[in-house]
Structure 1
Amino acid sequence: MPRQRDTAPTDQTRLLVAVGTDKHPFDRLVDWLTQWHAHAAGSVGLTVQHGHTTAPELPGAVPFLGHDALQQEMADADLVVCHGGPATILEARRHGHLPIVVPRDPGRGEHVDDHQQLFARRLGDAGLVALCETREQLHDALAAGLVDASRYAVAADPGAHEARRLAVARVGQIVDDLVARAAARPPRWPARTRPDRREGRR
């Protein structure tokens, strides 16, 4: 059961980073995090769910978390950084987080299309996520979170968020299914135009 965010100061900020289960690696986010962590290691308790990305040399790095384990990590975290997956974002908000979101970029081989970017930008415009599309934006957001984690806290209200969570998760699944089917189909080439019979006549 989600709980209200505990924003009381502690000696260590608990940070969860989740890249989801997509088969594409997300080296960019993990690299940005590694660079930041080198200067903040003393004050951060880290869990990094890195998926199919090469395991980083960071404490708390795990490839995947089961559903219950992920829920517990979200409940215990002070800050959540995640990819632009609809279900992950809504789960983070359900647990009282304003998630710091780095959407996957298909131009970098991180996904098959740009639906994470479009979704995250829309939520960012609405103030429902802290959108970070550059290394500097992510590092600034994390630095601000270390100073005051309450900047990235929202009211945890499972009743109000549950219907929206299910709807967005369903939309995300439909999009993923459509993209997967499109990727599995052979390319459709336009029909070869019939050569002009007069071609070659002089």
Structure 2
Amino acid sequence: MTRLRLLVAVGTDRHPFDRLVEWLREWHAEVADSVDLTVQHGHTRTAGLPDAVPFLGHAELQAAMAAAHLVVCHGGPATILEARRHGHLPIVVPRDPTHGEHVDDHQQLFARRLGAAGLIALCESRRELLDALAAGLADRSHFAVSVDAEAASGQRAAVRRVAVIVEDLVATAARRPHRPWWRPWRESGPDERRNR
């Protein structure tokens, strides 16, 4: 049997995703003789992982997904769609803001919805990821999906648009000073009313 080719893509977000990379480092140490691992790591430290690259251009990412047997990725809509377009049921570990991996929980909410619909293999814990990887090693077809090129084209455009909207909303929210929306104006003090 040929060696398993695993692509891991954490996206381009400025937040590190050390939790996922550490889980993979521990796992890969046990299966290195049977797995070729490529990790697109963005701003995450990758000491001890082979074939780690910070970023892949669009064409490079497409080629890596086409060549991979399994894809593990963050909960970014565009990455998930691209993996499915290449015939993968992606193993998705959404970024968790409580670990400093993102500014909010939109990846968790999005991935949970896709997981419930059976469109991804959702892994929110180390154990779930290790179980999914073990299943993929045992039977690669478990993480394969059929590709409908016409449907994929329309879905790709829709998901890219959603990804742009979500990223714009997150970026805008991060720049906006926090002001409680539930406080009626008339309850504000005189100094606060002047500053509105």
Relative contact order: is structure 1 or structure 2 higher (C-alpha 8 Å, sep ≥ 6)?
A: 1
Runs of 4+ in 1 over 2 A off after TM superposition: 186-195
Distance apart, 1:194 and its partner CA: 4.9
1:9-32 Cα deviation digits (max 9, x unpaired): x32000000000001100010011
1:97 aligned to 2:93? no
2:109 aligned to 118, 128, 131, which one?
118
Q: Secondary structure at the match of 1:87?
A: helix
Aligned residues: 186
**Corresponding residue of 2:194:** none
Aligned to 1:46: 37
1:174 corresponding residue in structure 2: 165
C-alpha contact 1:106 1:114 (8 A) present in aligned 2: yes
User: Residues of 2 paired with 1:116 and 1:20: CA distance?
Assistant: 12
Q: Which has the higher helix share?
A: 2
**Which residue does the alignment assign to 2:19?**
28
Larger Rg: 1
Instruction: Measure the CA separation in 1 of the matches of 2:190 and 2:61.
Output: 58
SS in 1 for 2:30: coil
How much identity, in percent, do the aligned residues show?
Answer: 69
For 1:165 and 1:100, the matched residues in 2 are separated by 19
Secondary structure of the residue that 1:38 maps to in structure 2? helix
The residue that corresponds to 2:147 in the other structure is 156
Question: Equivalents in 2 of 1:95, 1:194: separation in Å?
Answer: 59
Between the aligned partners of 2:33 and 2:148, the Cα distance in structure 1 is 32
1:193 aligns with 2:155: no
* Cα pair 1:30 1:56 within 8 Å, conserved: no
More displaced 10-residue stretch of structure 1: 50-59 or 40-49: 50-59
Aligned to 2:7: 16
- Equivalent residue for 1:165, pick from 144, 151, 156: 156
TM-score scaled by length of structure 1: 0.88
1:87 match: 78
Instruction: Give distance in 2, aligned partners of 1:100 and 1:107.
Output: 21
Contact 1:92 1:99 in 2 (8 A): yes
Instruction: Could you tell me which runs of 5 or more consecutive residues in structure 1 were left unpaired when the two chains were aligned.
Output: 1-9, 196-202
User: What secondary structure, in the 3-state scheme, does the structure 2 residue paired with 1:137 have?
Assistant: helix
